[in-house]
Amino acid sequence: MKRLSLIVAVAISTGYAASNSGAIPLTGDHGVWYGSISVGTPPETYTVIFDTGSSDLLLSSATCSNCGPRTRYNINSSSTASNLRKTFSLQFSNKQTASGDLFTDTVSIGGLSATGQTLGAATSYSSSLEGNPVDGIMGMAFPSLSGYPATPVMNTLKSQGAVSPGQFSFKLTGTDPELFIGGANRALYADPMTQNPVTKQGYWQVALDAIGVGSSRPVVGIQAIIDTGSATIDLPPGEAAAFYAAIPKSKDASGTAGPGLFTFPCASEPRVSFTFGGVSFPMSPSTFNLGQVSEGSDDCVGSIVSGELDVAVIGTSFLQNVYTTFDFDGSWVGFARLV
């Protein structure tokens, strides 16, 4: 059902002048984007999903029996590690779970280091997390969303003065996708950047003015969580139905293609756009189209789906179309056109 296009790109960091910012090259795979951090002394490298929809740093423990072929965290291999002697249990929005033990250690990202950073080492995962191509998840939402609870990596970097400003930005498409921490990479976006105030801290939640199809605006005035850890765009059920009602010959395919999914005629290439802060950002046809519903079908599955929340969750299907900045200092999310 899903178009199995593997996007792999590697960027080379090109010597940014400021010492309290840094760029991390990313790899994109089926709508999930990940890159490297290092933990411990001597540093061990881990591949993590940079997730703005959670707030905890999660790795796998050396003692985990169902963690797959991951790079494991071993407290005995790091001279800066400390055992908090506390356990944790996390549940993700997709119902996956992880539980284990909490530690503190030095965490470095893009050349910037946080000391005494709390991290969880999972000793058990729900089976659906097995076989994941990454070693862990680095949550980048607000501290109040932490399940441990603990101060998230970005907030530790900020309070220790290692990163300035308290900002990070994503380019999630094309050549050289990257996460930039300590600001926005001016080379990657065109002015202006809209600044959308966070309306409710926890997730990065902002107002979404409208979703357009051609010249119609079937969805207006809803709240949206900006989530780099999600691939799809999940709308409240009523809004999802209203959105597809604006696309001729679209169909609710929850019974055939999968829960929450809709199809549309592949040939129609609807012009979908998202308006934030009064500025309309078009979605490219390839990011709206998840591929044919079945081999040889004229119907394609849309990346806008019906979700379970009363707010929208805006995942990478949309975020691939823009440059996105998350700002802790002023509490806003910025969108700008990619150059």
Please give the residue ranges that form the binding site for ligand NAG (CB under 6 A): 62-63, 74-76
Taking the least distance from each CB to ligand NAG, the nearer of 83 and 89 is: 83
Min dist CB 69 to ligand NAG, Å, is 17
Strand partners, 279: 276
Taking the least distance from each CB to ligand NAG, the nearer of 118 and 156 is: 118
DSSP string, 25-92: E-EEETTEEEEEEEETTTTEEEEEEEETT---EEEEETT-SSS-SPPEE-GGG-TT-EEEEEEEEEE-
Query: Which residue of the set 101, 227, 234, 299 is catalytic?
Result: 227
Taking the least distance from each CB to ligand NAG, the nearer of 73 and 142 is: 73
The residue type at 263: T
Taking the least distance from each CB to ligand NAG, the nearer of 62 and 210 is: 62
Min dist CB 74 to ligand NAG, Å, is 5
Angle at 56 between CA 154 and CA 135, to 5 degrees: 100
Residue 186 C-alpha from the chain's centroid: 21
Helix residue spans in the chain (DSSP H): 153-159, 237-245, 285-288, 316-319
Min dist CB 120 to ligand NAG, Å, is 14
Min dist CB 45 to ligand NAG, Å, is 18
Min dist CB 262 to ligand NAG, Å, is 47
d(CA 83, CA 262): 47
Min dist CB 65 to ligand NAG, Å, is 12
DSSP state of 160: T
d(CA 213, CA 194): 21
d(CA 258, CA 19): 47
**Neighbour tally for 149: CB within 10 Å:** 13
Determine the residue with CB nearest ligand NAG: 76
d(CA 293, CA 297): 6
Coil, strand or helix at 123: strand
Taking the least distance from each CB to ligand NAG, the nearer of 62 and 207 is: 62
Min dist CB 60 to ligand NAG, Å, is 11
Taking the least distance from each CB to ligand NAG, the nearer of 20 and 63 is: 63
227 is catalytic: yes
d(CA 94, CA 91): 8
DSSP β-ladder status, 189-197 and 32-39? unpaired
d(CA 314, CA 219): 14
- Whether 252 and 268 have beta carbons less than 8 Å apart is answered as no
Taking the least distance from each CB to ligand NAG, the nearer of 13 and 82 is: 82
Coil, strand or helix at 335: strand
Catalytic residues: 51, 227
